[in-house]
Amino acid sequence: MGRKLLTEHINVEGIDTFEVYRKHGGYRSVEKALKTMTPDEVVEEVKKSGLRGRGGAGFPTGMKWSFLAKPEGVPRYLVCNADESEPGTFKDRQLMSKLPHLLVEGMITSSYALGANTSYIYIRGELLYVLRILEKAIAEAYAAGFLGKNILGSGYDLDLYVHPGGGAYICGEETALLESLEGKRGNPRNKPPFPAVQGLYARPTVVNNVESIAAVPVIVNDGGDEYAKIGVGRSTGTKLISACGHLNKPGIYEIELGVPVEEFIYSDEYCGGIWKGRDLKAVVAGGSSVPILPKELILKTAAGEPRLMTYESLSDGGFVTGTMLGSGGFIAMDETTCIVRNTWNFSRFYHHESCGQCSPCREGTGWLEKILHRLEHGHGNERDIDVLASVAKQIEGNTICPLGEAAAWPVSAAIRHFRDEFEWHVRYPQEATRPGAVFPGKAVLV
């Protein structure tokens, strides 16, 4: 059994209340940090831990914190990105609804480290019930003296707010989130300047994912070095994986980074194999925006090594043979899955969610979806697959924010690894679009 750092007490009855949470060691990190450590020492511990951003990008959290500009007399902010809304990713809402005080504790300790006196949790608007849970937890923390003026007599003040978004995926992009938090339309900003220099209200700001902030109390309590001992290489600590799709036991698992993908899929400790005894066809390992990989590449790297659940191992081979750990949205697909339909479905999402600010994303995401729609419905032509790949390439890297890439990567990867299936849709539209049709393999195309 792997160690559980964040979710150890998740099933304890009443753990969402201050009293029970406190009984199980809650808020120790706040006491330790505020009474015995300087803010810089907290930052140093986070750096030592090797914690990497759990929202998807995997940027080292401690390093991100150290980039924060600290001009005299200017407020700075910590914003928690709780706008989780990528298809396949649903770990943060579970963490927040079951362990709200873990996030609140993380916010206090992290805000202290960054010198922020006002912090925000920007939560997806649809998660109204989670917002209520968090608001209750915050009220309890205020009542217990862990928030507000002069916390624990340390002289440190902090106000914490939860702000619901309007329900736009783009508001999970950090600069769009800041725009939205400021009350404006959630359009991403041009970078530079980065939020660490000019973020919320043009002040230095750090934006971190829920899971990253929830890991901070553990790091402060046990020390960064201890945290860094878990995991493999530069992928340290534990990671929440939201597993879904054709698995026997879909759900949210806290794994020690470094678990082999094969073990994660097939062992009873985790997903328990593919449902109905079917064969695995493909996996999207890190949320719908990362490249899809066929079975042979998700289980083994190009070099034939077992693929591990780490940032490095999953991205081994670049996008030719690898993918990304991303936000840990693990979507498994069995042998009956239609890859074209699946890609179209992802494309529909990104087309719908593009903010429309920059031309390649605004026009390109719609173009991708429309071609995929035609292919899936039996109206594709010979040229479509190449146009699809080319349009995805035109979007990739040329947009203001990563939503363009999120729309393009699944399409590029699907064509890269499953081109035969796309060609089958073009050559045999009636057969390919028959309800329940399963791609019969390359032989049919010869």
Contact of 86 with 353, CB cutoff 8 Å = no
394 binds another protein (CB under 8 A): yes
Residues composing the chain? 446
| Smallest distance, another protein to C-beta of residue 55, A | 20
For residue 169 the two structure tokens come to: 């995926």
185 binds another protein (CB under 8 A): yes
180 binds another protein (CB under 8 A): no
For 395, the 3-state DSSP assignment is helix
What gap in Å lies between CA 174 and CA 181, rounded to an integer? 10
Query: Which of 92, 353, 376, 423: binder of another protein (CB under 8 A)?
Result: 353
377 binds another protein (CB under 8 A): no
Contact of 99 with 7, CB cutoff 8 Å = yes
166 binds another protein (CB under 8 A): no
Nearest to 297 by CA among 287, 307, 309: 307
| Smallest distance, another protein to C-beta of residue 353, A | 7
Nearer to another protein, 350 or 439 (CB): 350
Helix segments in 289-358, DSSP class H? 295-299, 311-314, 318-321, 339-353
408 binds another protein (CB under 8 A): no
What gap in Å lies between CA 27 and CA 137, rounded to an integer? 12
Nearer to another protein, 255 or 340 (CB): 340
354 binds another protein (CB under 8 A): yes
3 binds another protein (CB under 8 A): no
The one segment of 14-22, 35-43, 74-82, 353-361 that binds another protein by CB under 8 A: 353-361
Query: Which of 128, 190, 229, 441: binder of another protein (CB under 8 A)?
Result: 190
425 binds another protein (CB under 8 A): no
Query: Which of 43, 130, 168, 282: binder of another protein (CB under 8 A)?
Result: 168
Nearest to 316 by CA among 291, 334, 339, 335: 291
371 binds another protein (CB under 8 A): yes
68 binds another protein (CB under 8 A): no
Q: Which residue is associated with the tokens 């406190």? A: 22
What gap in Å lies between CA 165 and CA 134, rounded to an integer? 15
321 binds another protein (CB under 8 A): no
160 binds another protein (CB under 8 A): no
| Smallest distance, another protein to C-beta of residue 387, A | 5
For residue 332 the two structure tokens come to: 């498994």
For residue 55 the two structure tokens come to: 């929202």
Query: Which of 3, 35, 132, 383: binder of another protein (CB under 8 A)?
Result: 383
| Smallest distance, another protein to C-beta of residue 63, A | 16
| Smallest distance, another protein to C-beta of residue 394, A | 4
For residue 205 the two structure tokens come to: 């700001």
182 binds another protein (CB under 8 A): no
Query: Which of 351, 375, 376, 429: binder of another protein (CB under 8 A)?
Result: 351
Nearer to another protein, 134 or 181 (CB): 181
Beta strands 238-245; 251-256: pairing state: antiparallel
| Smallest distance, another protein to C-beta of residue 58, A | 15
Total chain residues near another protein (CB under 8 A)? 32
55 binds another protein (CB under 8 A): no
290 binds another protein (CB under 8 A): no
Burial class (CB in 10 A: 0-12, 13-18, 19+), 405: buried
Query: Which of 234, 362, 377, 416: binder of another protein (CB under 8 A)?
Result: 362
364 binds another protein (CB under 8 A): yes
Q: How many CB atoms lie within 10 A of CB 13?
A: 7
For 154, the 3-state DSSP assignment is coil
Report in angstroms the alpha-carbon separations of 371 from 131, 348, 383: 39, 11, 10
Contact of 257 with 314, CB cutoff 8 Å = no
Contact of 279 with 26, CB cutoff 8 Å = no
315 binds another protein (CB under 8 A): no
Torsion of CA 105, 110, 115, 120, to 10 degrees: -70
For residue 150 the two structure tokens come to: 């002069």
124 binds another protein (CB under 8 A): no
Interface residues with another protein (CB under 8 A) are 168, 170, 185, 190, 192, 351-360, 362-367, 370-371, 374, 383, 387, 390, 394, 397-400
